[in-house]
Amino acid sequence: MPLNHYVTLGRSGLRVSPFCLGTMTFGQEWSIGVGADESARVLDAYLERGGNFVDTANIYNKGHSEKILGDHLSANGKRGRVVLATKFCGGMDTTDPNSGGAGRKAIMAACEQSLRRLKTDYIDLYWMHFLDAHTPIDETMRTLDMLVTQGKVRYLGFSDVPAWKVVQAQYEAIFRSWTPLAALQIEYSLLERSVEADLIPMAREMGLGVTPWSPLKYGILSGKYTRDTRPKDGRGASEWVTRHLTDHAFRVIETLHETAKEQGCTPAQAALAWLSRRPGVTSTIIGAKTLTQLEENLKGLEVTLSPASIARLDEVTKPTLPFPHDFLQMIPTVIHGGQTINSVCAPPWGNAPKGDNDRH
């Protein structure tokens, strides 16, 4: 699938690339990114290859990520063709309790600040970055609807919010004729499949396009870590990485290496190919600090995994889902045992009534 084979985002008419460029590494304030010049080169390369979906947040590198994007896109006349997404909720002033969060005061101030840094009149997709447990969800949704009505925001999405809260927000919008959510951003990868319990099926039911972040699990699925090359005593990797380098992770990595060898690609490309074709996924967020990293990640769109490879990866990464999901897997037998409904074949149920004569 080429980068310029666009897809609509959820139940909306917004066309986006199948890979979204994440820009948390644009800026060096968090010591994980690169400067403005290298960021601009990565951005230009992504756009030149047909990409149009760029994701940032107000807090990324203390606002510098937004500023880099704003400076470059405005100076080069490229703003119009870019689907520019940013986020609110993260606080930018530790002395102000209303700097962060999802209340009306915080949202409206964050939006104005992002517009200034991005040097634009509107934000294409505005994400609530996290759940704010201290703000009623109807206040958040009404404020976001106001921003859409004012023309400052085009589409809305939630990131890192429990499924039940997303549903509550969506129905608040539907019942009150406010702008509904169009997208959901969540962590999703071969090493993070717990979202398949509730978040993914909820998104599909609610018409939300899913944009996974950290598809390589902080670089663990990139291929650079093995049992023999794992960082020792925390050297060479952050705690975010080392705490996930478990025996299970290495079993997945080994299977991923085998799959990549069979498919003639890198482990990272195989991991991205698996994720980008998962049910519900619209556009996978990839990060890149260099042109080389960008090129290597984009090749993941060219990889088509064989059914056998997909099945092997599915099996080694099969998640343990919370109640009632495991329990419900045997319920089709009770509901329609011996029958096939929507391609679901249920084994016969030995305790089922045989007909009207068995009913009491």
Structure tokens, 232? 């020792």
What's the pLDDT score for residue 355? 66
CB neighbours of residue 104 within 10 Å: 16
In the DSSP assignment, the letter for residue 274 is H
Q: What is the pLDDT of residues 282-322, one digit of tens each?
A: 999 999 999 999 999 999 999 999 999 999 999 999 999 99
Fold that domain 7-320 belongs to in CATH? TIM Barrel (3.20.20)
Q: What is the pLDDT of residue 353?
A: 80
Q: How many residues does the chain have?
A: 360
Tokens for 131, please give them.
Answer: 């759940």
- pLDDT tens per residue, range 230-243: 776 555 567 878 88
Question: Do residues 114 and 66 touch, judged by C-beta distance below 8 A?
Answer: yes
Query: pTM value?
Result: 0.94
- The predicted pLDDT at position 1 comes to 81
Q: Cβ-count burial of 89 within 10 angstroms (0-12 exposed, 13-18 middle, 19+ buried)?
A: buried
Q: What is the pLDDT of residues 246-264, one digit of tens each?
A: 999 999 999 999 999 999 9
pLDDT at 298: 97
Return the pLDDT at 239. Answer: 80
Determine the pLDDT at residue 356.
Answer: 59
What span, in angstroms and rounded, lies between the C-alpha atoms of 270 and 284?
13
Q: Which residues of the chain have pLDDT under 50?
A: none
CATH 3.20.20.100 residue spans of the chain: 7-320
* Active-site residue, selected from the candidate residues 46, 60, 126, 155: 60
Longest dimension (CA), the chain: 80
Q: Is the dihedral of CA 179, 185, 186, 189 positive or negative?
A: positive
Is 171 a known active-site residue? no
Structure-token pair, residue 140: 């958040």
